[in-house]
Amino acid sequence: YWVRVYSGELKANSRLLCPNRDKKENASQLWQIRASKKERDGQVPAVTCGDIVGVIGPRHAITGDTLCDTREPIQLPTIEFAETVISMAIEPESSAERDKLSEVLEMLKRQDPTFSAKQNEETGQTLISGMGELHLDVIKHRLLRDFKLNVKVHNPRVSYRETVASGVEVVGDCHRQMGGKQLFAKLKVRVEPFDQGVQPVVVLNRVPPDTLPLDFVDAAMDELRSRAEGGGLIGSFPLSKLRVTVLGGEYDAEVSDEVAFRIAASLAFDEGLKAAGPVLLEPVMKLDITTPDDYMGDIVGDLQQRRAIIARTDSRGTQTLIEAHAPLKELFGYSGAIRSLSQGRAGCSMTPFGYEPAPASDAEQFKF
């Protein structure tokens, strides 16, 4: 781990607290590392405010976490990391390396919060996700070069999201028998697009006071939050840019309970997604391109074929800076394409820009 000391003094063999994980950590050794060499005389007994050092010992902390004195807990503001936008399936070439691959991926996730790896329960494949094609290429080469793991990698896949086109109000009506018991509950819910929340899906309680028992409302809210973490209707992609508001409902003291309100909430959620019109969202990247003026026309033409929107251009001598926004789906292999268009003289960097509605043809391919 690399750490920066913000205040006080850090000594070797210190016991520290990681408040982000609520775990205690050991700082066994401190190293001042220069370039690519870790020399024996680089080990130091202590460091003070402003120092940046390598630490051997922590097991639970990840990038962006705070380490502090166990007697005086403090947590610095965390870093907001962007969502991953691209995924690919990966598997070891031999079953003997499967456990080692899992351990290595867990370590890489701790080092790099913009990287994720998870098991697909349906296919059994391991999916790795990152910030772009180059990001996953670097991970793949690290597995081979640093950890001596031979892996099979499948083609990259765009990480789509789903939202809705408009706002609707619906009622989930639970009126059924379950286990020989009559159940009744009605829940009125509004489902609408919403792009102002920190969370992908915001679930709000706007039930007028004293109209529904609190435990029934809590059960409905819990069910809606659980459903919000699931997939949408187009391709079971994660939901995003969505707000769900509970407006009210009806109950019967004799036949209503928490189970009935969970069922009503689930029915209202499904009906709301259908009635509001599901929309497929695709990740969009921001491109910053520097090119000699001679190649600007070819590069802009190529960008337009990739459904890019040119945000601005800026001429600087014989060079032109281009800022554009383009769907990630259209940018696979773009680093090689721009080299070919400019004879290797243009440069490009990409960063995630957000999610925008995908073409209807893309949504159609996921419908059965």
140-173 pLDDT per residue, tens: 899 989 998 888 888 778 889 999 999 999 999 9
Helices first, then strands: H and E counts in the chain: 7, 23
Does domain 2-69 sit in CATH 2.40.160.20? Answer: no
Alpha carbon 364 to its chain's center: 24
Write down the pLDDT at residue 33.
75
Write down the pLDDT at residue 290.
94
**Topology (CATH) of 281-363:** Alpha-Beta Plaits (3.30.70)
291-343 pLDDT per residue, tens: 999 999 999 999 999 999 999 999 988 999 999 999 999 998 888 899 899 99
Contact 242, 193 (CB under 8 A): yes
Write down the pLDDT at residue 195.
87
Write down the pLDDT at residue 83.
78
- Find the DSSP H helices in 33-158: 98-111, 133-145
Say which DSSP state 78 is in. P
Asked if 86-159 and 281-363 have one fold, the answer is yes
Contact 189, 245 (CB under 8 A): yes
**Topology (CATH) of 163-276:** Ribosomal Protein S5; domain 2 (3.30.230)
Give the CATH class of 86-159: alpha beta
Domains of the chain, by residue range, sit at: 2-69, 86-159, 163-276, 281-363
Instruction: Identify any residues that bridge with 249 across adjacent strands, giving them in sequence order.
Output: 187
345 in helix, strand or coil? Answer: coil
- Provide the b/e sequence for 8-33 (b: ≥16 CB within 10 Å): eebebebebbbebeeeebebeebbee
Q: Look-up: residue for tokens 């004195």?
A: 69
Write down the pLDDT at residue 86.
84
Reference 128, options 355, 149, 137; nearest CA is: 137
Reference 30, options 8, 11, 48; nearest CA is: 11
Share of the chain above pLDDT 90, in %: 63
Triad 338, 344, 348: Cα angle to 5°: 45
Residue 100 is which amino acid? K
Global pTM value: 0.72
131-147 pLDDT per residue, tens: 888 898 899 899 989 99
